[in-house]
Amino acid sequence: MLYETSPAAVAIFASFVLSVIGLSFFLGRKGQSAKGYYAAHGEIHWFVNGIAFAGDYLSAASFLGICGMVAFYGYDGFLYSIGFLAGWVVALFVIAEPIKALGKFTFADALDSKFNSRGIKLAVATSTLVVSIFYLIPQMVGAGDLITPLLGLPHAAGVILVGVAVTLIVVTAGMVSTTWVQFIKGSLLVFFCGVLAAMILNRGLVENTGSLEPQVRTVRPDGTVLIDGQPQSKGHDLRPVGSIKRLPERYGEKTSTGPLRPLEYLSVLEDSTIVTWSSKKHADAEGVHTTYFPVERQGADLLKPGGYFKGLTTGKLADKLDFVSLMLALFCGTASLPHILIRYYTVKDQAAARKSTVVGIAVIGAFYVLTLYLGLGAMVSGALDPTSSNMAAPLLAKTFSNTLFAIISAIAFTTVLGTVSGLIMAGSGAVAHDLLENVCGIAMTDHEKVRYGKIAAVGLGIVAMALGIVFRNFNVSFLVGWAFNIAASANLPALVMLLFWRRTTKQGITAAVTLGMLSSLAWILLSADTFEKVYGWSREASIVPFSQPGLVTIPLGFLVLIVVSLFTPPPAEKPAIVSSQPTW
């Protein structure tokens, strides 16, 4: 579908970006220490840090992706929400306090606190960079893809805008400004999702009698687009879709339920008949035709798993294992993501780390419940673009008012800023603090640590922009899944064993991180999903039994660590280097 540019959305977005950059310069006006740049002096209040967790974690994929998935496939988007939130339990109960107690600026500090080994630092810094870059690419490409429908600017403009804004934010005041940007973004995102959800409940469910004729979109070899055989234009475009055909019988002749309570909304939806749209493609000499056609479904079927994860209904063992593997990677991955972990160094002590995680869980959990309502609201709003699930939430907002559309569009776009700044910050720490200072052994004064960190951030910002433009035409959404799997397989076994098994050796950790990273990456590159979606080959040619590696590679990480540790000399029992922690 073609979208009209919304000057209001551009204005709201521009004022947001200018104010956060202004704030960054204000926060960065004082001279900085390394502790200030990498860890915000450890002085961020736990509540602010908790909201910033939400701002850091809730990427565009979380907001637009999950809303769109729920709107198109029903319950299955919520499965991701459940997994994404579950990971925070591991972060709170297992990771938060030790990470805070053992580390200084980066995750590598914590893993290496007992050993002072260059091997560990090198392995962990590499895994941090790999995970951060895999996470970064979809964010940057997403920024470019979203800017066209949301703000009406070309792809490259979106990528460069985000790249420059984020680099400025990180370079001016490092972790201090990053934290505040994430705090503001997290608050805005959750607040406006709440407003939108309240409006959905207030409107209730409405029967919609729109046309159910199939629609055909044809892309001709010269790139022009036809809709039902006529050139696409503002006046002749795909009709928006998604509607309720029949409300439950108890509503009789009424076509609208009126305001509904939160759980009532879901139960009425379960008893309704809903029309969703599917598509099929075929190509001939004229071009590639995509036919969109309505499918009548019972609400009860849409509100249970299986719409997106078709494997859940086939009964094949490999499909079931694939699902278990995904849920395991989501559970273990969150607490191993470097941009989340560095947030623990910005607070005063372990109690603050714990409290901020609980705040994070509350905010992120609330957000995921809200996105379920947003997705379902969009599903029956009659406003969906059948070609793009990403636009579900903004288009839903448009059914209420153009102002709300502008606000949601601007927020969706600023979502990218918060996550990208966290990733650039994590990468900057890995390059300057771990690789240059600790692995290469370059002695740095406090001032130089900050300068190298900033140079690394600028470098990463440029790399991020280049990747965002280069990968423009690739399907990059699954890279977030890769990042989760690699983080879970490389980082989690090492961290857990370090904390709970005294016999863990430095060789064990180095081997587990390296092999966890390589094995999960190799598995992904050989999987059926990658064969089909990335290389364009047949799924059957894949040589691994299921696509998600976690179920195999996470236990493999533990196994490698145990075996290597047992074959290497045990660590000397000496107090760890945690002198930077006055609380000990």
Partner 1 sequence: MKASQAASQAGDDKRGPASPVHAAARGTAARIGLLLCLIYMVLYAGFVAIVLFRPDLLASRPFGGVNLAIAYGMGLIASALVLGLVYMVACWLVDRRTVDGRAAQKTVLPGRK
Which is closer to partner 1, CB of 87 or CB of 163? 87
The yes or no reply on residue 251 touching partner 1 (CB under 8 A) is no
Interface region with partner 1, contact rule CB under 8 A, candidates 31-39, 93-101, 187-195, 528-536: 93-101
The yes or no reply on residue 351 touching partner 1 (CB under 8 A) is yes
Tell the smallest beta-carbon distance from residue 355 to partner 1 (Å). 6
Which is closer to partner 1, CB of 15 or CB of 298? 298
No. of helices (H) and no. of strands (E), the chain = 23, 6
**What three-state secondary structure class fits 382?**
coil
Position among 104, 114, 433, 454 found at the interface with partner 1 (CB under 8 A) = 114
The yes or no reply on residue 304 touching partner 1 (CB under 8 A) is yes
The yes or no reply on residue 323 touching partner 1 (CB under 8 A) is yes
Tell the smallest beta-carbon distance from residue 512 to partner 1 (Å). 16
The yes or no reply on residue 316 touching partner 1 (CB under 8 A) is no
Interface region with partner 1, contact rule CB under 8 A, candidates 12-20, 265-273, 282-290, 411-419: 265-273
Position among 26, 93, 191, 474 found at the interface with partner 1 (CB under 8 A) = 93
C-alpha 354/C-alpha 48 separation (Å) is 13
Size of the site for partner 1 (CB under 8 A): 60
The yes or no reply on residue 300 touching partner 1 (CB under 8 A) is yes
Taking alpha carbons only, the member of 254, 233, 253, 203 closest to residue 376 is 203
The yes or no reply on residue 513 touching partner 1 (CB under 8 A) is no
Q: Are 582 and 533 contacting, i.e. CB atoms less than 8 angstroms apart?
A: no
Taking alpha carbons only, the member of 271, 246, 268 closest to residue 258 is 268
Residues 6+ apart with CB under 8 A from 230: 236
Interface region with partner 1, contact rule CB under 8 A, candidates 31-39, 91-99, 232-240, 482-490: 91-99
C-alpha 522/C-alpha 514 separation (Å) is 12
The yes or no reply on residue 500 touching partner 1 (CB under 8 A) is yes
C-alpha 500/C-alpha 508 separation (Å) is 14
C-alpha 323/C-alpha 325 separation (Å) is 5
Tell the smallest beta-carbon distance from residue 446 to partner 1 (Å). 25
Q: Are 28 and 336 contacting, i.e. CB atoms less than 8 angstroms apart?
A: no
Which is closer to partner 1, CB of 443 or CB of 572? 572
The yes or no reply on residue 248 touching partner 1 (CB under 8 A) is no
Residues 6+ apart with CB under 8 A from 288: 218, 219, 281, 282
Tell the smallest beta-carbon distance from residue 44 to partner 1 (Å). 18
**What three-state secondary structure class fits 205?**
coil
Position among 270, 448, 529, 532 found at the interface with partner 1 (CB under 8 A) = 270
The yes or no reply on residue 306 touching partner 1 (CB under 8 A) is yes
The yes or no reply on residue 318 touching partner 1 (CB under 8 A) is no
Position among 88, 183, 277, 523 found at the interface with partner 1 (CB under 8 A) = 88
Q: Are 267 and 207 contacting, i.e. CB atoms less than 8 angstroms apart?
A: no
Structure tokens at 395: 């288009």
Q: How far is CA 171 from CA 174, 419, 470, in A?
A: 6, 16, 24
Position among 19, 313, 314, 475 found at the interface with partner 1 (CB under 8 A) = 313
Q: How far is CA 525 from CA 116, 133, 532, in A?
A: 33, 16, 11
Tell the smallest beta-carbon distance from residue 330 to partner 1 (Å). 10
C-alpha 116/C-alpha 180 separation (Å) is 33
The yes or no reply on residue 201 touching partner 1 (CB under 8 A) is no
Position among 98, 163, 427, 508 found at the interface with partner 1 (CB under 8 A) = 98
The yes or no reply on residue 478 touching partner 1 (CB under 8 A) is no
The yes or no reply on residue 242 touching partner 1 (CB under 8 A) is no
Position among 33, 291, 350, 387 found at the interface with partner 1 (CB under 8 A) = 350
Q: CB neighbours (10 Å) of residue 32? A: 23
Which is closer to partner 1, CB of 109 or CB of 145? 109
Interface region with partner 1, contact rule CB under 8 A, candidates 142-150, 202-210, 540-548, 573-581: 573-581
Position among 21, 67, 92, 122 found at the interface with partner 1 (CB under 8 A) = 92
The yes or no reply on residue 90 touching partner 1 (CB under 8 A) is yes
Tell the smallest beta-carbon distance from residue 583 to partner 1 (Å). 5
Tell the smallest beta-carbon distance from residue 88 to partner 1 (Å). 6
Tell the smallest beta-carbon distance from residue 294 to partner 1 (Å). 23
Q: Are 458 and 171 contacting, i.e. CB atoms less than 8 angstroms apart?
A: yes
Interface region with partner 1, contact rule CB under 8 A, candidates 28-36, 123-131, 289-297, 350-358: 350-358
C-alpha 145/C-alpha 68 separation (Å) is 15
C-alpha 421/C-alpha 139 separation (Å) is 11
Position among 6, 24, 81, 520 found at the interface with partner 1 (CB under 8 A) = 81
* Beta sheet of 215-219, edge-to-edge order: 230-231, 225-227, 215-219, 287-298, 273-284, 243-246
Position among 2, 8, 89, 156 found at the interface with partner 1 (CB under 8 A) = 89
> Contacts for 142-146 with beta carbons within 8 Å, 24 or more apart?
142/60, 142/61, 142/64, 142/416, 142/476, 143/60, 143/413, 143/416, 143/420, 143/468, 144/468, 144/469, 144/472, 145/390, 146/60, 146/64, 146/390, 146/412, 146/413, 146/416
Q: Are 241 and 213 contacting, i.e. CB atoms less than 8 angstroms apart?
A: no
Q: What are phi and psi of 245, to 5 degrees?
A: -85, -45
Position among 267, 387, 403, 568 found at the interface with partner 1 (CB under 8 A) = 267
Which residues contact partner 1 by CB under 8 A? Answer: 75, 78-79, 81-82, 85-86, 88-90, 92-94, 97-98, 101-102, 113-114, 263-264, 266-267, 270, 300-301, 303-306, 312-313, 320, 323-324, 327, 331, 349-351, 354-355, 357-358, 361-362, 365, 368-369, 498-500, 502, 573-576, 578, 583-584
